[in-house]
């Protein structure tokens, strides 16, 4: 069977992911990644309405910190990424569903296998919350800090994370955030 570019044709009873082209699978993967982020947003909104913003924030931190070890392990296993240095973390981070290429615009500057700087040029949360400085700063300074540390701990508890720029600073054409990752 020729690789499918889409599924616009008739129903196929035993269709598999492997039946589609790389480009089609990449589009499907992007859709799955969007779903994860939207589901998280909807979930937080509902918890906030029912139990209050403080409870929603507590649950959000707990959930992202809990999923980090799984998301990193699943990604590393799927791509056969070995090791526990910064390079292994960065390689896995490039493919975790919650930080999807094409949804986020980011760049990793690998200084060496134990030092890297992440620059996020576009973040959906940063873009959508820019008008709500309090919530944006909480997401950037509290939630992201806790979640990033949980994800790095899944690789190596010795990884040190330092925010270089988070939240709204007011610079023209500002980046969303920038983080430094090191193992000393």
Domain boundaries, the chain: 17-182
CA distances (Å), 147 to each of 13, 22, 173, 178, in order?
40, 31, 26, 15
Predicted pLDDT at 172: 56
Predicted pLDDT at 171: 64
CATH class name, domain 17-182: alpha beta
Predicted structure pTM score: 0.89
- Identify the residue whose tokens are 């240095």: 85
pLDDT digits (tens, 9 = 90+) for 84-110: 999 999 999 999 999 999 899 999 999
**Mean pLDDT across 40-55:** 94
**Mean pLDDT across 150-154:** 97
Calpha distance 116→98 (Å, rounded): 20
């Amino acid at each position: 069977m020729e690789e499918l570019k889409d599924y616009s044709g008739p129903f196929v009873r035993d269709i598999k992911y492997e039946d589609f082209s790389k480009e089609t699978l990449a589009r499907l993967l992007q859709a799955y990644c969007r779903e994860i982020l939207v589901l998280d947003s909807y979930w937080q909104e509902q918890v906030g309405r029912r139990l209050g913003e403080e409870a929603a924030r507590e649950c959000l931190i707990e959930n992202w910190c809990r999923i980090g070890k799984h998301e990193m392990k699943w990604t590393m296993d799927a791509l056969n990424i070995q090791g526990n240095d910064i390079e292994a973390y960065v390689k896995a981070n490039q493919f975790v569903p919650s930080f999807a290429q094409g949804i986020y615009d980011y760049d990793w500057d690998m200084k060496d296998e134990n030092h890297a700087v992440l620059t996020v040029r576009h973040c959906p949360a940063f873009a959508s919350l820019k008008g709500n400085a309090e919530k944006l700063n909480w997401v950037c300074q509290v939630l992201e800090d806790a979640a990033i540390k949980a994800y790095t701990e899944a690789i190596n508890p010795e990884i040190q994370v330092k925010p270089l720029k988070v939240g709204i600073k007011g610079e023209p054409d500002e980046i969303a955030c920038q983080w430094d990752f090191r193992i000393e």
